[in-house]
Structure 1
Amino acid sequence: MLTEQFIASISAQTKANTGVTKDAGIFVHEFQPLAAQRHVFKKSASAQNGLAVSSSHVFAAQDGKAVVHVYSRDKGNQEAVIPFPERIRSIALAAKDSVLLLGTESGRVLAWEMCSGRLVSTSTSHLQPVTALAVDPTSSFFLSGSPDAMIHVWALPAILSFSPDTSRSPVHTLSTHRGPISSIVCGHSATSANIAISTSEDKSAIVWDYQNGQLLRTYLLPELPQALTLDPADRAFFLAYGDGSLQTVDFYDDMQKTASTDTLRDAASSHRPIQPSPKTRFNAESQKLGAALSLSLSWDGQTLISGHATGKIAVWDTAKGNYVSTVTNLPGPVTNLEFLEPIGFPAASEPTFKMQTVVKPKQDSGVSSGNALVPPNYTLTMQLNGQLRRPAISATEAVTKRSAFEEALVHPSFPQAMLDASLAELATWNAPSTSGAGIAPAADFLSLEDTAGTGDMQGMSNTNEVQELKKQLASLQRVQKLTFKQLSELREEKEYLLSEERKRSQSAQSKAKAKNNLADGSTSDVEMSNNTSGESESSDDDSSSDGESEAAPSE
């Protein structure tokens, strides 16, 4: 059965509510098939754009603090409290939920790899705090917005690069707005034609081709927009206003839907502002919902939910543009609202990895190492799910070539080329060094004996552990010798079978040649007998003709 849930957070508890657990700040609510509250997380008060949810964890940036709370969705409790050097104003997940982006008070963005604990910082490009973050579906780019009216486009692979020469500056800067940036969303396309939408307190919404840094369309709004969300098919976007009303802005109206070209990318109308029709705005004045602070759209785009300053969460029908119901009433302003991934699809794909626990961030040490290699203390902590992906085997289509690592993993035995390379590497371990005169032979790094000059075992105090390791090494060496012996026997058997096959082939060829020679000899004998009989017949004919010639004169 299809199950759909949404998660909501409040900035602070402003009213008593006996139906809500004390100090609860994050609420998981089931939307269908049965509308009911499923779980709450305590001790959290997050501002707008301060909540991020993955399949395993919930991250909440605390309002006015330099702290991020981490909650485990599987265990249902608070897992960690992560302090940072400065206040966090916005957060967003990227790279299949393995990287958390954090917008800071000083105007820079931090990238936290939660599987390794690596923390990387961008350059300080914003003049004011980063209050909005949006990541594109491929995680190749992300956008940051600030009250300085600037939007920066960043390349995430460059930010996470280990090379010290890689630039951590914005790729593009979008500076058309004239007021503080309130919200940014990215489209759902994984192509280079994807779009992004930003809203500002200058009462405008702009559609961007963010990968090229181009403005596509400008919309003039009737009020200050408080929240923004985008249609799953990128056909329209929805806005929330301070008076509690909502508005639908369709990219393709009735006239544009009949056009053969994409009017959204028409360069002639890119600098022509458009004012949406008042008919696309809808409200529920009788419900006294209060100012709308957050929006989220269901996976099919048919249902819109809005969080309000009164704590109410309202449900709207996007097709009809009217109010449906109020699903819950929380004890504080609903600052963040997000539909979770639906559960219950029959062929839903599972994630390739899962984070059981997040690794607390530490300042990146690979940037200052002077090279582009992975630093020695870089360690990933994750759990792989399921089996490795294996390509389909077809008798009519060419099989995609796999790497040596994949070949070794799925093959019944190690490939011969890898074994030869490993044997060659083993042979060099104990080879004497030729780098200079007077240099001692290279030490075998598999040896656990304490040798002079190396000092590898000086720090080990547990003798029993050393003896156990020696036994394991001896066992591995015996297995290695046995494996090499079996390989040698298999090679000898292969050579013997090949030689026997060659002998059998040569014998068959000799017999065939002799048979051909016999056939040629019998053919020549027949020809000789035919020639002899022909000569005898010709001699008889000659004698008879001579007799006739002699009898003629006697007459």
Structure 2
Amino acid sequence: MLTEQFVAAIAAPSKPNTGVARDVGIFVHEFQPMAAQRAAFKKSAAPPNCIAVSATHIFAAQADKAVVHVYSREKGNQELLVPFQERIHSLALAAEDSVLLLGTEGGRILICTSRLVSTPPSHLQRVTSLAVDPTSNFFLSGSTDSQIHVWSLPALLSFAPDTSRAPLHTLSTHRGPVTALTVGHSTSSANIAVSASSDNSAIVWNYQTGTLLRTYLLEVTPQALVLDPADRAVHAAYADGSIQTIDFFAGDAVAPASATNTLHDPAHAHRPLQPPPRTRFNATSQNLGPALSISLNWDGTTLISGHESGKIASWDVAKGAYSSTLGNLPGAVTNLSFLEPTGWPETKEAKFKIPAVVKPKPDTGNGDSIIGIVPALYTMNVQLTGRLNTSISAATAEIGAPQLSLFEEALTHPSFPDELLDEGLAELAAWDGGSQNTASKSVDFLPLAPAGEEVGQTANEQLEDLKARFKKLQEIQKVTFGQITQLKQERRTWVDLEAKREARKARRRARLFAKPKGHAAAGADDNDHDEDSSDHDEVMADSEEDSGDEEVKTKKRGPHGSNDDIIGKGEESHSSEDDLGDLERSSASEKESDGDDG
């Protein structure tokens, strides 16, 4: 049978003549199937937002002392008293109830595990409210300085010395002290948080980005907030004892109700809304007094509120009306919290529990943790309750235990499966030329092969295949390098020949065209005639070659060592021979004149 309970805490008792036992400050009530008190804990006076309940313990910060009382739910008594240097004004649990967050009077956030981590005093005044998101990656802190800070819990718990302990975002739109703070139930990046302030406003935030989504203007100051399980609406409790439901899908006179949630629409972010008066309901005939705390049951159909008169009222959310009074406690009900329902047919068993709470040791600033490892004196006290996840072996396979493929195990493993690490180490050993027996079977993750099926080659076969490919690549590389070297030599030879040819052409042209202008200098010998004739022939051949008119060219060595150019048929051949004869006769006459002058 489904059983649902809630925890109520009061401040200092104000009704001495009641049927409740003396000094009782925390009560555990059964909500369904039968409304009755199930447990009570003494010597506690907790202000608002100063109760945190786990599956095994109840933590209560005291109103007049800088201490936190720890109660064991199993034993039904006070287990521990933890003192602090300053008063605590808010409490919250995170990371499956294994981390306790405390907001101090000086504006700090204390984080308790088996060590005590403190943040810088980011708030200027006391921290009055704390809220943790479902993933425990973020938590929010609200203060009377009107500021809301968003923190990263893993960063604050890190052992690395260079990790920042500053808030991720600061939400500073409120103009008065923050009175209430609550976070949605989603684990996505679009999860929301709602804050209330004494400036009579309630603001919806995307706390992961620090973006303001919606502002609601209220008639009075909300004292407590709670979100609907589907995050469709937020319920607010007021000092006059009334309750109001702020529906995110409903609008106002300017913007009527819509079938879609426009919280994340930037066009509506900076336009404040005022909820309709009909969404606010009260029970004036019950003399409940100011509402100080509020909580919703697991399905969101029933809301309970704690009042200054000590009464706990029940409200029908669907009808928006008062239902009944569940109890009358001896003091102002400052804290209310529904517990997780029990009695489900299939319940996920917790893998560990904390049998006893120990006093945390102050953090030493990670002096011994240079690279962020866990210090040597760090201790953790937990009791393992469930079955540990072990790697699949032949023994478990024989008894019919459920088997997961290596790919599925890697998806859900907190780090890396042992089999995957062993495979990587074996492959590295094979590459380094290690033992051939250390290689394990390779698994192909892409096709999602079933467990136990061999896919691909073994590491040794892959290694031999790679060696053969490497040898072939080396042979191809040698041949390629030889061809490249030969091409470089041929190119260098042709470049040198072309350079020499251009130099000879330039020299011969200079000699040929310098003599007709200056008629040569006196004292030249007879050999100049042969050289000039040869130079003239080569220049003429080069000129015809450059002009592109040559059809066939053949080199023939003459009897005197000179080159005679034989040109193919055509008119250009006859004209070239005539010009050559004229030049030879001119050279002979010049030679005779030079001889006479000598």
Equivalent runs, 1:59-98 vs 2, <5 Å: 59-98=59-98
Match of 1:168 in 2: 165
2:2 maps to which residue?
2
Q: For 2:18 and 2:284, locate their aligned partners in 1 and report how far apart those are by CA, in whole Å.
A: 26
Aligned to 2:321: 322
Q: CA 1:400 to 1:34, structure 2 compared with 1: closer, same or farther past 3 Å?
A: same
Q: For the aligned residues, what is the CA RMSD?
A: 2.6
Structure 1 residue matching 2:409: 3-state secondary structure: coil
Equivalent pair of 1:99/1:112 in contact (CA under 8 Å): yes
Deviation at residue 13 of structure 1 after TM alignment: 0.4
Partner residue, 2:366 = 367
Mark the CA change 1:406 to 1:384 in structure 2 (over 3 Å): closer, same or farther: farther
Mark the runs of 5 or more structure 1 residues left unpaired by the alignment. Answer: 422-555
The residue matched to 2:126 in structure 1 has which SS? coil
| Higher RCO structure (Cα 8 Å, ≥6 apart) | 1
Please give the alpha-carbon distance, in whole angstroms, between the structure 2 residues aligned to 1:177 and 1:350.
Answer: 42
Question: Counterpart in 2 of 1:156?
Answer: 153
| Cα pair 2:410 2:416 within 8 Å, conserved | no
Q: Counterparts of 1:256 and 1:394 in 2: how far apart (Å)?
A: 52
* TM-score where L is the length of structure 1: 0.71
Name 1:144's counterpart in structure 2.
Answer: 141
Q: In the aligned structure 2, how far is the partner of 1:398 from the partner of 1:170? A: 37
Partner of residue 213, structure 1: 210
1:490 match: none
**Residue of structure 1 in register with 2:49 after alignment:** 49
| Aligned: 1:229 with 2:238 | no
SS at match of 1:375: coil
Between the aligned partners of 1:405 and 1:150, the Cα distance in structure 2 is 37
1:240 equivalenced with 2:240 (yes/no): no
Residue number in structure 2 paired with 1:24: 24
Query: Which TM-score applies when normalising by structure 2?
Result: 0.66
Contact 2:101–2:109 (CA under 8 A) maintained in structure 1: yes
Aligned residue runs from structure 1 range 23-422, under 5 A: 23-113=23-113, 117-253=114-250, 258-259=258-259, 262-365=261-364, 367-369=366-368, 370-389=370-389, 392-393=402-403, 399-401=408-410
Shift of 1:348: 1.4
Specify whether residues 74 and 404 from structure 1 end up closer, same or farther in structure 2 by C-alpha distance, changes over 3 A only: closer
Distance in 2 (CA, whole Å) between partners of 1:233 and 1:191 is: 13
Counterparts of residues 436-451 of structure 1 (less than 5 Å) = none
Contact 1:144 1:151 in 2 (8 A): yes
Letter in 2 for 1:299: W
Aligned residues: 413
| Cα shift readout 1:264-304 (whole Å, capped 9, x = no counterpart) | 11111101010000000001111101111000000000000
Does the 8 Å CA contact 1:52/1:93 hold for their aligned counterparts? yes
Distance in 2 separating the partners of 1:199 and 1:92? 18
Corresponding residue SS for 2:37: strand
Q: 1:157 to 1:20 in 2, by over 3 A?
A: same
| 240-249 vs 359-368, greater mean Cα deviation | 359-368
Separation in structure 1 between the aligned mates of residue 124 and residue 27 of structure 2, nearest angstrom? 34
What amino acid does structure 2 have at the position aligned with 1:40?
Answer: A
Q: Distance in 2 between matches of 1:394 and 1:89?
A: 48
Per-residue displacement from partner, 1:388-445 (whole Å, max 9, x unpaired)?
A: 24695369x954349799977x9xxxx89999x9xxxxxxxxxxxxxxxxxxxxxxxx
Per-residue deviation, 1:65: 1.5
Q: Does the C-alpha gap of structure 1 residues 385 and 272 become closer, same or farther in structure 2, counting only changes over 3 Å?
A: same
Distance 1:209 1:404, change over 3 A: closer
Instruction: Report the 3-state secondary structure (helix = DSSP H, G, I; strand = E; otherwise coil) of the residue aligned with 2:34.
Output: coil
What whole-Å deviation, never above 9, does each CA across 1:424-472 have from its counterpart, x for those lacking one?
xxxxxxxxxxxxxxxxxxxxxxxxxxxxxxxxxxxxxxxxxxxxxxxxx
Kindly indicate whether the alpha-carbon contact (under 8 Å) linking 2:6 and 2:336 is maintained by their aligned counterparts in 1. Answer: yes
CA distance in 1, matches of 2:330, 2:52: 21
Separation (CA, whole Å) in 2 of partners of 1:207 and 1:325: 31
Q: Which amino acid aligns with 2:225?
A: L
Equivalent pair of 2:147/2:170 in contact (CA under 8 Å)? yes
Report % sequence identity. 61
Report SS of the residue matched to 1:279: helix
Deviation at 1:366, TM superposition (A): 5.3
Letter in structure 2 aligned against 1:43:
K
Q: Is the 8 A contact 1:393 1:399 kept in 2?
A: no
Structure 1 segments of 4 or more deviating over 6 A?
254-257, 402-408, 415-419
For 2:410 and 2:112, the matched residues in 1 are separated by 35
Structure 2: gaps spanning 5 or more residues: 393-401, 429-598
Alpha carbons 2:68, 2:82 under 8 Å: kept: yes
Asked whether the 8 Å contact 2:56–2:74 carries over to 1, the reply is: yes
Give the conservation status (yes or no) of the 8 Å contact 2:226–2:234. yes
Q: CA deviation at 1:371?
A: 3.5
Structure 1 residue 372, shift from structure 2 partner: 1.2
Query: Any idea what SS the aligned residue of 1:286 has?
Result: helix
Quick check: 1:365–1:375 contact (8 Å CA) kept in 2?
no
Instruction: Report the Cα distance in structure 2 between the residues aligned to 1:85 and 1:139, rounded to whole angstroms.
Output: 26
Q: Give the Cα–Cα distance (whole angstroms) in 1 for the partners of residues 417 and 132 of structure 2.
A: 35
Distance in 2, matches of 1:88 and 1:173, equals: 22
Alpha-carbon distance in 1 for matches of 2:204, 2:269: 9
Secondary structure of 1:400's partner? helix
1:365 positional shift: 2.6
What letter is aligned with 1:4? E
Instruction: Name the aligned partner's letter for residue 383 of structure 2.
Output: Q
Distance 1:404 1:15 in 2: 52
C-alpha distance in structure 2 between counterparts of 1:325 and 1:401, whole Å:
52
Do the aligned residues in 2 keep the contact of 1:107 with 1:127 (CA within 8 Å)? yes
Distance of aligned partners of 1:2 and 1:259 in 2 relative to their CA distance in 1, 3 Å threshold = closer
Q: Matched residue of 2:48: which SS?
A: strand
CA 1:355/1:216 → structure 2, altered by over 3 Å: closer, same or farther? same
Residues 256/211 of structure 1: CA separation in 2 closer, same or farther (3 Å cut) = farther
